[in-house]
Amino acid sequence: MNALDQLKRYTVVVADTGDFNAMRAYTPRDATTNPTLILKAVQKPEYRGLLVETVARHADEGPAAITDRLLVRFGTEILSIVPGRVSTEVDARLSFDEEGTVARAHALIALYREAGVPIERVLVKIAATWEGIRAAERLENEGIHCNLTLLFSFPQAVACADAGVTLISPFVGRIYDWYRKRDNRDFQGDEDPGVLSVRRIYDYFKRFGYPTEVMGASFRNVGQIISLAGCDLLTISPELLEQLSAGDARIERRLDPAHARGQSIERVRFDEKHFRFELNEDAMASDKLAEGIRAFVADARRLDELVVAARSMPA
């Protein structure tokens, strides 16, 4: 078996893309999207029609509402390809607005229901701020499943698990980027700070029996993926899926729930004050969370601009 097929023996493979063709090529179970990926997709000629058609059908609505419809349109197309779930992101401009996040999540789910999609196949993607976690807790209590993203630290992960969140997406590559820049050195395998962060979270969740799924995300190289074989899920870009598919490196399980359950790990809790303090103490996590929100906000604004511009495009 190639490396990708070997990986699938231990881990659910998720496509990290808005490109339908890439999803068909690598047969992932689930797919994740974000504003950046959707922005890239709608600027490609093969997806222009989705943008123009969505805008034309709902021309009387505001840009934000049409953008949500576009995200859901991509989501429904993705669900016709993958057998599992799709993650659709709440506008990052609501990252510090609990009520706004809940309302926007309800709007996205309503659009999916309108399209005939069971809510069990949708993960609402929310930034792992304190407000985002509290919003996700409320949504989960309503039966709306959430994927907490932009997650860079152990306190974020624990707070998500205690809130009953369905899935978290710790960002391996962005953690790696920060330490690589600070220390002016590369990291390989078991010394990679991003890999170590996910392993710590995974072991903690399995040790204490949390049902929250851990999905490693934001990979920079195949080595990081191989080092996390056995993680519940890994969301992988088409470029790295291609490398895995073309490779024949031997993949062995590196994360194991039975091993995690046997470890001596201290249980911790984070109230709001403790959460905010610990996040602030972690320069990498606080830097990357703020940077990630800013980047997603910028792309959300660009999507709105494309929606406005598409009003004048011929259908």
Catalytic residues: 125
8 A C-beta contact, residue 175 and residue 151: no
Q: 127 by DSSP, 3-state: which?
A: strand
Q: In angstroms, rounded to a whole number, what is the distance separating the alpha carbons of residues 215 and 48?
A: 30
Round to whole Å and give the CA distance between 274 and 295.
Answer: 26
Angle value at C-alpha 269, between 265 and 273, nearest 5 degrees = 140
d(CA 270, CA 109) in angstroms, rounded, equals 29
CA–chain centroid gap for 78, Å, is 15
Type of residue numbered 205: F
- Residue 231: helix, strand or coil by DSSP? coil
- Are residues 246 and 2 in contact, defined by beta-carbon separation less than 8 angstroms? yes
302 to 17, 19, 191, 305: CA distances (angstroms):
18, 19, 37, 5
The 8 Å CB, 24+ separation contacts for 119-123 are: 119/143, 119/144, 119/145, 120/85, 120/145, 121/79, 121/84, 121/85, 121/86, 122/75, 122/85, 122/86, 122/87, 122/88, 123/85, 123/86, 123/87, 123/88, 123/147, 123/166, 123/167
